[in-house]
A = this chain, B = another copy of it.
Amino acid sequence: MSIFTKKKENFMAWYLDVVRRAQIVDTRTEVKGMNVLLANGYEIWDRMKKMLDEKFYVTDHKNMYFPLFIPDKFLELESEHFEGFVPEVAYVTHAGKKKLENKFALRPTSETIMYHMYSQWIRAHTDMPLKVNQWCNIIRIDTKDTKPLLRDREFQWTEAHTCHVTPEEAVEQVKESMWIYGSFFDECCLPYLITKRPKYDTFPGALYSVAYDTPLPDGKTLQIGTTHNLDQGFAKVFNIRFQKEDGSHDYAYQTCYGLSTRVIAAVISVHGDNRGLIIPPYLAPLQVIIVPILFKGKEEGINKECEEVLKEIKKSDIRVEYDSSNKTSGFKFNEYELLGVPIRIEIGPKDVEKGGVTLARRDTKERIFVEKSKIVKAIKEAFDIITEELKNRSKTLLEKSITEVVAYDELESTFTDRNPGFVKTNWCGDEECADLIKEKLRAEIRGTLYGEEEEPFGPCIICNEEAKEVVYISRSY
């Protein structure tokens, strides 16, 4: 019996357990929904930032930082956009004991303050494309059950906001964002479905919204990122106006996209097992841990060997540590398995004798002997194999998470007593039918597959009228 609540039996209990035991988050702050991101969680987020910053760099995004406080009048300008956020917006009303003349909202997202600046920066078509990314904390006083990293009242995220000269460029930017996020999720070895949200579920003020949803082990799905084509909606409200090459004027075409520390929750949930975390090698803050297998009288030789192997690996770009503490090797094995370190190197008397080390994979527990001169090469090969296998596993997970359904009875039974992942079915496009799905099944239409037109394979699942599109339905976090 594992120390953990078993993942398959009670996913949420397992998740909360592993987040606590692996010291990712500490919730004992006495501030509901605002937790401490502990060193282990912080390091994963820091790696994610580095991975994304590299992609932002090659695609000419610039990082900037905008104020946390949003003047109330900006929100009023864009009241349609903010309506959905209103109950969640935290308001600052006082400085010390003094009431402020005007209250400020804490950013639940930064469109308004950023676009207020953009309207001052953009004058001519030569000022675009403008691609700005912001790493920051976000405040949303969500009233639903908070869950560490899954639903927080304060969380860290990246939000990018772009401006373009033509609608075509905005469409291209949506695709670029999908490359950035898609390749990042791939490096995290996550399964995900990209769908175009239904019109009624589009980001307020946007032309269309694209979202990335990951199937979780309990059959619910988790939105781990979104991209919006904003067209000229915000530009008109915030007056982001420019002179075109021919001298005439137009409003900028905009896009925005964001993802948050929720991605950490997805990585933990998808890859972890009953021993703890499994972190994909290229994402792992610590990629290799060296553990000595000590036998009485042979400590010195083993220690020396470990130090040498450490030095050798450190010459490469592999992130490695040597645990020379006086805990037992069994304790150390459990510890680093809990933390999800992809590769463990064991060095015992037998390994030394044979002139090598034992390399153990965290994901499969597989152990192989490697000659000393080939360690770095073997580790890198293992990284690639593990990555490939985790990706394949996720591909299978995604495929298995999709159930095709044609008749309503079937849909209802699919959602009875369980969460079925994604249900692929047909829809007439009518919001009333979507409302019935919400009401009867506590599930929502995620949308249509992005970039791939799928032919309906039956009538609308609700009203039996002719279906317009194939949609994916799920319950979500």
Contact = CB atoms under 8 A, between A and B. Distances in A.
Contacts of A103: 94
Nearest to A143: B95
Contacts of A43: 63
A34 B120 contact: no
A62 B43 CA distance: 9
A379 to B, nearest CB: 22
Nearest to A71: B30
Contact of A68 (B34, B94, B104, B117): B34
Interface stretch (A83-91, A228-236, A367-375): A83-91
Chain multiplicity (copies) = 2
A67 B31 contact: yes
A48 to B, nearest CB: 13
Contacts of A266: none
A84 to B, nearest CB: 11
A320 to B, nearest CB: 14
Interface in A1-54: 26, 28-31, 34-39, 42-43, 46
B89 A96 contact: yes
A444 interface: no
A67 to B, nearest CB: 4
A58 interface: no
B86 A36 contact: no
A93 interface: yes
A247 B94 CA distance: 47
A137 B88 contact: no
A106 interface: yes
A62 B39 contact: yes
Nearest to A103: B94
A116 interface: yes
B42 A95 contact: no
A156 interface: yes
Contact of A91 (B65, B68, B89, B92): B92
B69 A42 contact: no
A65 B36 contact: yes
Interface in A120-147: 120, 132, 136-137, 139, 141
A39 B68 contact: no
A256 B182 CA distance: 41
Given A29-B116, A31-B71, A31-B104, A65 B37 contact: yes
A393 to B, nearest CB: 31
A149 to B, nearest CB: 12
Contacts of A113: 29, 31
A91 B94 contact: yes
Contacts of A78: none
Given A88-B96, A94-B93, A95-B88, A116 B66 contact: no
A35 B113 CA distance: 10
A367 B381 CA distance: 48
Nearest to A155: B65
B93 A93 contact: yes
Contact of A69 (B97, B104, B154): B154
Most buried by B among A31, A88, A116: A31
A315 interface: no
A95 B104 contact: no
Nearest to A39: B62
A440 interface: no
Contacts of A98: 87
A65 B92 contact: no
Contacts of A64: 36-39, 42
A70 B30 CA distance: 9
A21 to B, nearest CB: 14
Contacts of A62: 39, 42
B28 A154 contact: no
Given A91-B92, A139-B68, A46 B34 contact: no
A94 to B, nearest CB: 4
Nearest to A28: B120
Contacts of A71: 30-31
Interface of A: 26, 28-31, 34-39, 42-43, 46, 62-71, 74, 86-98, 103-104, 106, 113, 116-117, 120, 132, 136-137, 139, 141, 154, 156
5 contacts: A46-B63, A68-B137, A86-B96, A90-B95, A92-B93
Q: Which 7 A-B pairs have the closest CB atoms?
A: A34-B67, A95-B141, A39-B62, A87-B96, A37-B65, A91-B94, A93-B93
